[in-house]
Structure 1
Amino acid sequence: MLPSSQRLTAPEQFRAVVRRGRRSGGPVMVVHLLVPDSGAVLATPRAGFVVSKAVGNAVTRNLVKRRLRHLVADRVDRLPDHALLVVRALPAAAEASYDVLGRELDRGLARCLPQAAPA
């Protein structure tokens, strides 16, 4: 489970990540990643989730959120320090299996993460 210290909760931070971060979209989710300058106050990466009513009823939305939280918790160590991540579920996420959500999250993160310069 993703600890509360690594959850993104402030609306201003959600807006900043969505507006200024890198974005990668897929059929079931959109991944937004913002890696601020090293002078950021946060020491650990934080993640937030957006699951709208278009995804389904409350039970379905909560299931999708729980799956995404668990998937991100397993991958949070791959994120750079100070990184802010927002995962926005699309309506197709309601029908997607856990494995499909994991693959799409990995693909989105791979596209958004800054690539290391070759040595």
Structure 2
Amino acid sequence: MKKAFRIKKNEEFQSIFKNGKSFANRQLVIYYVKKIDQEHFRIGLSVGKKIGNAVTRNRIKRFLRQAFQDLGDTIQDHYDIVIIARNPTKDMGYEEIKKSLTHLLYKEKLLNK
């Protein structure tokens, strides 16, 4: 995932949490805010220490990044999206995480038709 597609700064995360909309399922929480001046979507990932050790957290982040890369063409532009992983994700494989992420994006109408 290119740097232009990432959210890294804490101020940006806090702004999305404060001003954005949220939706959740059992495995993931999504926060998103529309940014008209952006040409493409950006993502931020958050996997807390309660989920597991560094190896587990990095695996979940890797799966989420790959899922976003696979879904890249179908995600609407002009959005900042933050994904927070919940505890059940530690036992999930790539396909399950991608399915859960797709479900969230579809429910919130962030996927192109």
Do the structures match in fold with TM over 0.5? yes
What amino acid does structure 2 have at the position aligned with 1:88?
I
Task: Give the structure 2 partner of residue 107 of structure 1.
Answer: 103
What CA distance in whole angstroms lies between the structure 2 residues aligned with 1:114 and 1:70?
17
Under a length normalisation based on structure 1, what TM-score does the superposition of the two structures give?
Answer: 0.84
Q: Which runs of 5+ in 1 are unaligned?
A: none
Residue 15 of structure 2 corresponds to which residue in structure 1?
16
Q: CA RMSD in A?
A: 1.8
Q: Which amino acid aligns with 2:108?
A: C
Give the paired residue count: 112
Return the index of the structure with the highest Cα Rg: 1
Normalised TM-score (structure 2): 0.88
Correspondence 1:18-33 to 2 at 5 A: 18-33=17-32
CA distance in 2, matches of 1:115, 1:108: 10
- State the percentage of identical aligned residues: 26
Query: What is the alpha-carbon distance in structure 2 between the residues aligned to residue 101 and residue 60 of structure 1?
Result: 14
The answer for unaligned runs of 5 or more in structure 2 is none
Asked if the contact 2:26–2:88 (Cα under 8 Å) also holds between the matched residues in 1, the reply is yes
Q: CA deviation at 1:105?
A: 0.2
In the TM superposition, 1:1-119 aligns within 5 A as: 2-36=1-35, 38=36, 40=37, 42-113=38-109
Q: Flag the 1:44–1:28 CA change in 2: closer, same or farther, 3 A.
A: same
